Each structure stands twice: as C-alpha cells, then as structure tokens.
C-alpha cells in the first residue's frame, strides 16, 4: 500500500492514503457515515463477494479490477478505514495494515490469529499490563503457555526462554515490547529475528515476531526494518496524540495482515469512520509533535535527574551501558518522551508532590499534547503484586511522566513548586 517509497515519513504523514478525486475534490477526506454499501446490480454484488471471500484469482476479482475499491459492510472495511490503514502502512514501512478500535483489540486479535492450543509464546519483560494479563491469565485457559525473558540484549537470556518454550510446545508468537515502560528495557529485534530463523528450522514453523512499538511510534522506530514480522502500535497514544480517542494498528506483510483482518471482522474490532477520520488528521502533526515532545522530555528529565529530592529517572536517553547505546543508535531514531521518576521517600511524598502540580495533569495514558503524570503503584500497576512491581523497578515512590508539548519552562516551574511541597 506504500506506493510512494521516495517520500519522507514527514510527507507521508500529511497526505498519503487520500486522493481528493475520490472525494469530489474535497481537500480533506469526507467521513463515510454508513454501516452498509449499495451495489449497482446483483452481478456486481456477487463479484464483490467473490473477490472478497475467494481471493484475487477469481472471475469476480478480474471484473472488479478496473473499478474503484468496493465495500460490503462496515465491519469488513470502509473508506475511512482504508485511508487510515494506508497512512499507517506507509509510516510503518509494511505491505498492509489493519486498524482496530483499541490497542488491546489489535493485541488480542493478532495473538488469536497466530496461536493454537498446545503452542507457546515467548515474550520480553516487562510488557504492558493488558498484554501481560492476556498472555498469563487468558491464553493458558486456551492451552497456550507464555515464557518470558528479562534481558533483551542478551542472546543467552532470549535463547533460554526459547528453549524453555520449545520444551513445552511449538513457539507460535514471539512478542516484544521495546522500549518497555517503566524500566526503559530494550530488546534487540534483529537478534531475536536471527534466533527465530534457527527455531524455524528446528520446529518446522516460523514463529511470528510482533513488536509493540507504542512508546516510540513510527517516526522513531521501524521494527519491520529490523526483522520483525509485525509492528503493533497503540494508536491511542502518540499517533492520535490528543488523548481524545482509542485505536490500535498492526502492519506487516500482506498475507499475515489478511489473516488478522479476517479475525478482526469476526471479532468486530475495526475502527469506526469518525474515529478513523480523526486519527488520519492526527497523523499529519505526528512528526512535529514527536520532535517537540522529545526535546521537552530531555529538558524535563535532565532537570529531574539533578534535583536533590529525586532518587532516579528511567529516561532512555540516560542509558549509558555501551550495548544499549549501540543498539539504540542502530534500532531507533530517538529516545521518546515517556519515562519514570522516583522521588526520595514513598507514597506520601509522591502524593504531596502530585497534589501540588498545576500545569501537569494527573492521569494515566501517554502520548497526548498535554503532560500527564501518575503514581504507578496505585494506578497503572494497582493490580500487580508488590513483588512483581519491584521486579519491574516500580517502587512506592515511582511516577510515570508523559511529557507533552507545553513550554518546557512552564513544566519545569511546575515541577519546581511541587517538589517544594515534598
Ligand atoms: C505499550 C502499550 N501497548 C498497548 C497498550 C494498549 O492500548 P489501548 O489502551 O489503546 O488499548 C498500551 C496502553 O496503555 C500500552 O501502553
């Protein structure tokens, strides 16, 4: 779907996927507010269904080839979904994309597409709580077992998880999240891709490597170019970017995305026309928002690191171990704008600090125009045991910060006055 390979991501983000001639010349895409689509004739209805269900080599598909894209029913696909998928696909560098009504829909539908009872899944740690819950509490009830590894830079650590998994069944999916929050853990995607090729020979089936790219997004990291089979993103975060909608996306080779779309249709997890339109508009400013959020984040993280009441900051840009620095230089084009800060003290100190903030908003989620902050142990990780929280580096003094687009001096002044209360 990415038919303009010569253009930069910044240009593709603005206009790719919408041809004004398809919308009566409207500079911006119409919203197709319809649940179903009308056929010109009974033969055309048959051709459309034949092409959709029986593939590209049928008579129906041949007759459809010279016509504009045909739609059947909103849950199977609609014009605004096609536009937003084309744009995401161009940004992710895939052959096709599937867009969903949330990141979790994208995650669960993708996993249900590629694993079967008796399979295993290997995953990096830590991963987003919803993904972790699905892997560890839901999929085992369907006969699928998860096996995690902690060090995504270590061949031995990844291979150990692959070996433990294979001893229990074929590996259907390798799920990676890089970078992960709140530890800023990173995974060498190319290394996992190399190890998976040996596994493919051993088990006679290729595990599908999926990377959750939510924390950096398509402007700062391209997992498909590193050897991932699929790139998954919670579009709710940076891509939508205004904390006003939920969406998710998966990009990759056309054959894998076709299988995911079939499962999406059965689950009814597609994105609706109005939200797809809003998301398409949000993509236009993603490059500028990414740039500003990253430059603000560096300033805020540097201020916090040097503050006497701060015990630590997990900002990716402060990682100094040579292996991580080398990997980031090869795999990513920036260090993002979501990180954790740990105060000296505990919950009481954090609550005093949070209740004094005037510019930053106290909320979960990330990637919006506004700066958001939350106390991890009592919000995003409320349901996680203290032992597991601490294993993931989350103490009672940890807070997650998603730096927005405000003037950095105002953000620093807000932090300064709130830290005085601690
Ligand atoms: C890394 C990551 N992946 C996936 C998700 C799930 O996305 P959504 O909330 O859009 O369902 C989130 C949500 O916070 C996330 O942070």
Q: Is the pLDDT of residue 310 over 50?
A: yes
Mutate to test the pocket of ligand 1, among 103, 241, 365 (most ligand atoms within 8 A of CB): 103
Gap between the Cα atoms of 223 and 372, Å rounded: 27
Q: Which atom of ligand 1 is nearest to the CA of 214?
A: 1
The pTM (predicted TM-score) of the whole model is: 0.96
Q: Please give the distance, rounded to the nearest whole angstrom, from the Cα atom of residue 104 to the centre of ligand 1.
A: 6
DSSP summary character for residue 316: G
| pLDDT, tens only, 203-233 | 999 999 999 999 999 999 999 999 999 999 9
Amino acid 68: pLDDT: 79
The rounded Å distance from CA 26 to ligand 1 centre is 33
* Domain architecture of the chain: domains with CATH: 286-419 (3.90.1150.10)
Q: Report the half-sphere exposure of 324 (CA within 13 A, side-chain side).
A: 16
Average pLDDT value for residue range 120-132: 94
Q: Alpha-carbon distance 277 to 283, whole Å?
A: 10
Pocket around ligand 1 at a 6 A CB cut-off = 102-104, 128, 130, 177, 212, 214-215, 234, 236, 246, 248
pLDDT category of residue 5 using cuts at 50, 70 and 90 = low
Comparing 126-130, 357-361, 371-375, which segment has the lowest mean pLDDT?
126-130
- Output Rg (C-alpha) for the chain, integer angstroms: 22
Give me ligand 1 centre to Cα 381, in Å.
13
The chain-wide mean pLDDT, for the chain, equals 95
Largest CA distance in the chain: 75
Compute φ and ψ for 73, nearest 5 degrees: -160, 140
């Amino acid at each position: 779907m990415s038919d303009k390979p010569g253009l930069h991501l910044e240009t593709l983000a603005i206009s790719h996927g919408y041809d004004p001639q398809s919308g009566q010349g409207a500079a911006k895409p119409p919203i197709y507010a319809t649940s179903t689509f009308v056929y010109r004739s009974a033969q055309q209805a048959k051709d459309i269904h034949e092409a959709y269900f029986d593939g590209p080599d049928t008579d129906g598909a041949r007759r459809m080839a010279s016509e504009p894209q045909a739609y059947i029913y909103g849950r199977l696909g609609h014009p605004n979904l096609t536009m937003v998928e084309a744009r995401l696909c161009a940004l992710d560098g895939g052959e096709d994309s599937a867009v969903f009504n949330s990141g979790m829909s994208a995650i669960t539908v993708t996993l249900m597409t590629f694993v079967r009872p008796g399979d295993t899944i290997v995953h990096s740690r830590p991963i987003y709580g919803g993904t972790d819950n699905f892997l560890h509490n839901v999929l085992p009830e369907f006969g699928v077992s998860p096996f995690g590894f902690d060090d995504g830079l270590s061949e031995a650590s990844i291979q150990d998880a692959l070996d433990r998994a294979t001893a229990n069944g074929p590996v259907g999916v390798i799920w990676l999240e890089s970078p992960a929050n709140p530890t800023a853990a990173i995974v060498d995607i190319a290394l996992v891709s190399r190890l998976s090729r040996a596994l493919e020979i051993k088990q006679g089936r290729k595990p599908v490597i999926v990377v959750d790219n939510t924390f950096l997004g398509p402007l700062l990291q391209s997992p498909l170019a590193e050897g991932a089979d699929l790139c998954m993103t919670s579009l709710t975060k940076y891509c939508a970017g205004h904390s006003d909608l939920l969406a998710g996306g998966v990009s990759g080779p056309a054959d894998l995305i076709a299988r995911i779309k079939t499962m999406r249709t059965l689950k009814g997890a597609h994105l609706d026309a109005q939200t797809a339109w809003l998301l398409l508009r949000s993509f236009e400013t993603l490059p500028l928002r990414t740039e500003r959020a990253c430059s603000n984040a560096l300033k805020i993280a540097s201020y916090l690191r040097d503050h006497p009441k701060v015990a630590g900051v997990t900002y990716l840009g402060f990682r100094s171990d040579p292996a991580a620095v080398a990997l980031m230089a090869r795999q990513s084009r920036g260090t993002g704008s979501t990180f954790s800060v740990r105060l000296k003290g505990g919950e009481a100190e954090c609550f005093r600090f949070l209740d004094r903030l005037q510019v930053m908003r106290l909320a979960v989620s990330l990637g919006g125009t506004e700066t958001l902050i939350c106390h991890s142990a009592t919000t995003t990780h409320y349901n996680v045991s203290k032992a597991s929280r601490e294993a993931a580096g989350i103490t009672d003094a940890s807070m997650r910060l998603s730096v927005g687009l405000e003037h950095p001096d105002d953000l620093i002044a807000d932090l300064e006055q709130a830290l005085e209360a601690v």
